Amino acid sequence: MTRPPTGPALDTEALAEPVAAAVLACPAVARLSAGPFGTVGTYLPGRRVTGVQITTTGITVRLVARPVALRTLETQVRAAVTAVVPGLPIHIGLDDLDVEPG
């Protein structure tokens, strides 16, 4: 089993944007979400990566999905995040469903 990166080897700020890009590339994901109280995100110099929080103990992703089976959504998001940051638990929060055409 792969051990999760710890200490200085895990640069959570540097990983937030690649994780966000990987999740947004999933066909089942419409967009990222800050969560019900707007608290999920990573603050970087001059900007915020909404919907992604990374710590040494896990990764939280909040999102709005397209109409797909939940298992499909979960599989796509877990694979995308694991490709960028292997070995950490992934927590997925589904905040809404995007049913608009296009």
Buried/exposed code over 60-89 (b: 16+ C-beta within 10 A; e: otherwise): bbbbebbebeeeebbebbeebbeebbeebe
The answer, yes or no, to whether residue 3 has pLDDT greater than 90, is: no
The whole-model pTM stands at 0.87
Which pLDDT score, from 0 to 100, does residue 81 have? 98
Domain contains 9: no
What CATH number does residue 84 fall under? 3.30.70
Which pLDDT score, from 0 to 100, does residue 12 have? 81
Q: Which domain holds residue 33?
A: 16-97
Confidence of residue 13 (pLDDT cuts 50, 70, 90): confident
